[in-house]
Amino acid sequence: MKQKGFVTECSDFIGRYWQIIIIVVAAIVFFTFIGYYILKNGRWGFYMKVQENDSYSAASAEVTNYTGKRAYLTFDDGPSENTMELLDILDEYDVKATFFVIGREEKYYDCYREIVERGHVLALHSYTHDYNKIYSSKDNFVKDIEELRKLLYDVTGVHAIYYRFPGGSANSVSKVPMSELVSYVEEQGLVYFDWNALNQDAVSDNLSPEKLVDNIMEDAKKHNDVVILMHDLKNRHTTIESLPLLIETLREEGYEILPIDENAPHVRHHII
């Protein structure tokens, strides 16, 4: 009996089953692509995954999926003597920002209201901002957040939902595991944000406006989505002075400047 050659057998096989072969190859290509996409973007790419190394420096934060260049100006620790001036500058440039505020005395209540009335985001930071107290127990942490939520609601009628942990979500001060506090915050329906760019105004109160902007842009060039940490504090007036240059520079670099909302990238230092 005549033996068929290997090549002939192969071409016979392909001739008979070519439709099935095409389907199998297409399926392999399709699932390889899907697998790659999931690995790259986290859980189905529905959220922004941010990773940061142990030093938690802004430079090492990485947002892994982008929809365009976006910058979020965030101000911690206010309100202060500077808040009204800060709001005027933002108005001048038609920019909306996010204020992670602390609990202040009655003379600052108008500042909380102005933040809301001028269309900015009033967000939670801490009532006391006393790290040792807040992070000494979960009870104290809960009490601090609750006190601030109540104050902001009583003064402005706003239920603030965005939150920033004092010292960030991966601080080394807390005696309570940060994962426990992160869970609590999420159970409360709050959404927390850290930062991946900063002007270093926490380090020194005498950096020039140009230097403050340079610090931010140095971090910003590593990211398409930039959450910028600045401080709204009495002795940080240079931060206010740097705002026009910062806004102009960000716009020149093609960043859209936005307040934090449900579409903002979850820039987070805490790794789940």
User: What is the binding site for Zn ion (CB under 5 A)?
Assistant: 76-77, 166
CB of 80 to Zn ion, least distance (A): 12
Q: What is the 3-state secondary structure (H, E, C) of 82-125?
A: CHHHHHHHHHHCCCCCEEEEECCCHHHHHHHHHHHHCCCEEEEE
CB of 262 to Zn ion, least distance (A): 23
Specify the residue, 76 or 219, whose C-beta has the smaller distance to Zn ion.
Answer: 76
Nearest Cα to 128, choosing from 151, 99, 109?
151
Specify the residue, 76 or 144, whose C-beta has the smaller distance to Zn ion.
Answer: 76
Does residue 133 come out as left (phi exceeding 0), alpha (psi in the -120 to 50 range) or beta?
alpha
Specify the residue, 49 or 168, whose C-beta has the smaller distance to Zn ion.
Answer: 168
CB of 190 to Zn ion, least distance (A): 16
Residue nearest to Zn ion (CB): 76
CB of 76 to Zn ion, least distance (A): 4
- Judged on CB neighbours under 10 Å (0-12, 13-18, 19+), 67 is exposed
C-alpha 130/C-alpha 110 separation (Å) is: 23
Specify the residue, 77 or 225, whose C-beta has the smaller distance to Zn ion.
Answer: 77
Please report, for residues 24, 71, 83, 202, 242, the alpha-carbon distance to residue 253 in angstroms, rounded to integers and kept in the order given: 46, 10, 26, 25, 16
Eight-class DSSP state of 216 = H
Specify the residue, 49 or 231, whose C-beta has the smaller distance to Zn ion.
Answer: 231
